[in-house]
Amino acid sequence: MGDWVRYAASRFAEADLGYGHGTEDPLDEAYALVVSALGLGPELPAAHHASRLLLGERQRLRKLIEERIETRRPVPYLTHEAYFAGLRFYVDERVLIPRSPLAELIAARFEPWLEPLAVRRILDLGTGSGALAVACAFAFPDASLVATDISEDALEVARINLRRHGLEARIELRGGDLYGALSHPTVPFDLIVSNPPYVPLALRRTFPPEHRHEPDLAFWAGDDGLNVLRPLLAEAHAHLHPQHGLLAVECGDAAPALWEQLSGEGFVWPDLESGRRDVLLAGVAALRSRVEERVHAR
Ligand SMILES: C[S@@+](CC[C@H](N)C(=O)[O-])C[C@H]1O[C@@H](n2cnc3c(N)ncnc32)[C@H](O)[C@@H]1O
């Protein structure tokens, strides 16, 4: 098996592929393709690295390696498998391949910014494959969840993943534009998580071919990247628990435009293990007063 990883890595390096869908270099990518194609978990014990492959397995790998190079499709779209927060998800081109840094905060159950025992209702806005909602459901086993998306195609994929993880009874899927997807009046949420589109249109030119296989709806957010984030932030307070509600939102390329505007008490941009600083944690009171400030400034 190891020789196939080595061979795929050399081919990928030669082809100068783009990465960033769970792997960062040709060797990692080759390993991910080989273990996924063989139906093995993401961490294969070293004892198996020397295993010999059957003819059918070798044929399948050769085909996938060529397909990866020719089509520039990221590995998870070829094998229909992605890992997020240690969990396995079905993916296809109807959804973004899950990779949000929110996984790290979910694993820590948003402590110390939230009291986990107080979390009974969670909202995931723009759920895509359902990855954030499913990871939250495991991190907060007593909570019920609502997961929304504007894309009906994405919701079909999310449905597959809820079924796979046995969470259909705990996570309600709803279609619609941001909070418009919710039934009214809504019972407030203790936690809202979201990885919305935030890429400014001007960056389209810089996107590697691999990213062009992902849905447009997952990325593009107007000239400044704030088209979706602006209403998401402005209305969050109305849907959060009035005392302890917390919004956790990945802001990505749009983060620098928000660092200054959304700072001070109630706003935190945690330093993540990955070195990123693009997730905003905002308390309900801070969100509410920011909206009030804006109203008074008119
Ligand atoms: C960056 S992807 C994130 C998917 C998933 N949460 C994840 O982290 O892998 C953004 C998702 O938001 C959805 N979306 C875009 N605009 C939306 C809107 N106005 N309301 C609800 N969902 C939206 C897209 O269809 C896409 O599935």
Q: Which long-range contacts (CB under 8 A, 24 or more apart) does 197-203 make?
A: 197/126, 197/221, 197/227, 197/228, 198/225, 198/226, 198/228, 198/229, 198/250, 198/251, 198/252, 198/253, 198/254, 199/225, 199/252, 199/253, 200/224, 200/225, 200/253, 200/254, 203/253
Specify the fold of 2-79.
Answer: Helicase, Ruva Protein; domain 3 (1.10.8)
Ligand 1: atom nearest CA of 84 is 9
Into which CATH architecture does domain 94-297 fall? 3-Layer(aba) Sandwich (3.40)
Q: Which residue has the higher pLDDT, 48 or 261?
A: 261
pLDDT over 70 at 262, yes or no: yes
Per-residue pLDDT at 298: 55
Query: pLDDT band at 22, cuts 50/70/90?
Result: confident
Any idea where the domains of the chain sit in the sequence?
A: 2-79, 94-297
Residues with CB under 6 A from ligand 1: 95-96, 98, 100, 125-129, 131-132, 148-151, 154, 177-178, 195-197, 217-218, 228
Per-residue pLDDT at 68: 97
Query: pLDDT band at 47, cuts 50/70/90?
Result: confident
Q: Which residue has the tokens 């109305």?
A: 238
pTM for the full predicted model: 0.95
Q: 48 alpha carbon to ligand 1 midpoint, in Å?
A: 38
